[in-house]
Amino acid sequence: MDRSLAWRAALLQALFVAAVAVVLAVALPRSFFEDWGWAAGPAAWGLCALLVGAVLRLSSARVLAGAFLSGLPMLVGVAVGVHWLGAPLALLIFGAWCGQLRREPVAA
């Protein structure tokens, strides 16, 4: 595993997700998240993961697979009513997943 890549992926994912969360929280009413949070959260997580993959030159399909698998621990937090409970674990899993991926060569 490329530990440097793993940590960079986890850190970037955390930063991108935090930025999206702040923008959405400022721009949208609480009722949006009560009605559509089930879709907005996973969509934001996946889109941020794609951005991480692009920045780190990782396979989009594999990064999305890692985003899906790493997002599963967050379901536990949602189920018990503590939304962000699983986020730290999910970030570690996502980073470890990305650390296992091979970087794609830069197109000439």
**Residue 55 located in a structural domain:** yes
- The structure's pTM equals 0.86
Output the pLDDT for position 1: 86
pLDDT band per the 50, 70, 90 thresholds, residue 104: low
Output the pLDDT for position 107: 56
| Per-residue pLDDT tens digits for 43-69 | 999 999 999 999 999 999 999 999 999
**Residue 105 located in a structural domain:** no
**Residue 48 located in a structural domain:** yes
**Residue 107 located in a structural domain:** no
| Domain extent for 11 | 3-28+39-100
**Residue 34 located in a structural domain:** no
Output the pLDDT for position 105: 61
pLDDT band per the 50, 70, 90 thresholds, residue 106: low
Q: Among 13-27, 55-69, 93-107, which stretch is predicted with the lowest mean pLDDT? A: 93-107
**Residue 108 located in a structural domain:** no
SS3 84: helix
Report the domain count for the chain: 1
- How far apart CA 32 and CA 37 sit, in angstroms, is 7
pLDDT band per the 50, 70, 90 thresholds, residue 77: confident
What is the radius of gyration, based on Cα positions, of the chain? 14
Cα dihedral 20, 87, 58, 61 in deg (nearest 10): -90
